[in-house]
Amino acid sequence: MTIKDNWQLLTHPKAEELNEPAKQLHHASQFVAVFGNSLLPKAADDSQSSMVWLSKLKALAGQEVNLKRRIRMALLYETLELQLINENEEALGVFPLSGQTKATALSFVRTQARSFGKKADDIQPISHFELPEHELNKGAPFQMANPGIFQELARYRHNAHIVLTEIAGKYEYATPVATWPHHFDTGSVIPVKFDDQSNLLKTVGIGLAPADDIVGEFYYYVNHWQKDGKADYDTLPSLPEGAEWHTKKWKGAVLPASEILKKKSAGEQAAFVEDFLRSGIEASFGILEKEAVKA
């Protein structure tokens, strides 16, 4: 099936209204990430804490841990609940988050680990980054005030997973599409150039990110990075209408969700996002091929 066939129509008219529920999901996702981060060896790219989208469950799931059987933690979007699931995506433990606090969520994760022979202290919060301050950090409970928005947020992640997986699959050595607990973006990195020791010198990144200081709503992005020098932005390739370049602190192309919502069918939305990503990638390849201006 094509991207257009799998795309789920985004319908909530005000993209910025997704921001606060998305922040709750970001905080909730830490309890998915902490399971793998605590029980798996640390990877060079921190991927032991990364998550993937499971379309059947409409959930972000962490990396599998083998404790007599393969298990992992998952965050189900439409019901706002944590589940410990097995390799068949069957629930072994369920914890509805609405009305609960981060402290009780951590207790649930620790209890699940203990049931598989680990100690409660084996599960420790991720400490190498901090999320922006939020009332949840002060003991406020998770709340699902509008289930429809959480359903829409599930569609955002589903669509990102299918379109990014399809496009990343066209490039050799592109990293698997994953969601990261720090920025809460879903993305992939496409290597462009290595040195003689296989160290990366240039990359292009693609993904979906939540609202931040770059864009005040969800947005797709294509960014580029090079180890040495800096790119020349005197002339920039054109992008599909509604997308724009950023060339200050963060360098790349963005497509805000509000622009996608102007397309009224699933097929149109899918084609628009796919066109943006492909255009942004090709443009970024061109930027990286230019002679770098030394810093």
- The DSSP code for 236 is -
**Single-letter amino acid code for the residue at 210:** P
CA distance 244 to 29: 30
* pLDDT in the model for residue 295: 40
Query: Are the beta carbons of 80 and 22 closer than 8 angstroms?
Result: no
Q: What's the predicted TM-score (pTM) here?
A: 0.95
Which of 235, 226, 182 shows the shortest CA–CA distance to 207? 182
Helix, coil or strand: residue 284:
helix
pLDDT in tens, 247-268: 888 999 999 999 999 999 999 9
Query: Are the beta carbons of 96 and 81 closer than 8 angstroms?
Result: yes
> How many other C-beta atoms are found inside a 10 Å radius of the C-beta of residue 151?
15
For residue 63, is pLDDT > 80? Answer: yes
pLDDT in tens, 137-177: 999 999 998 999 999 999 999 999 999 999 999 998 999 99
* pLDDT in the model for residue 249: 85
For residue 291, is pLDDT > 80? Answer: no
Q: Average of pLDDT values for 120-133?
A: 93
- Which residue reads 């009305």 in tokens? 99
CA distances from 81 to 28, 48, 108, 171, 174 (A): 9, 21, 11, 35, 31
* pLDDT in the model for residue 231: 78
* pLDDT in the model for residue 1: 65
Q: And the tokens for 114?
A: 């203990």
Q: Which runs of consecutive H residues, i.e. helices, occur in the chain?
A: 3-6, 19-39, 102-114, 147-168, 257-260, 266-289
- Which residue reads 């699933």 in tokens? 266
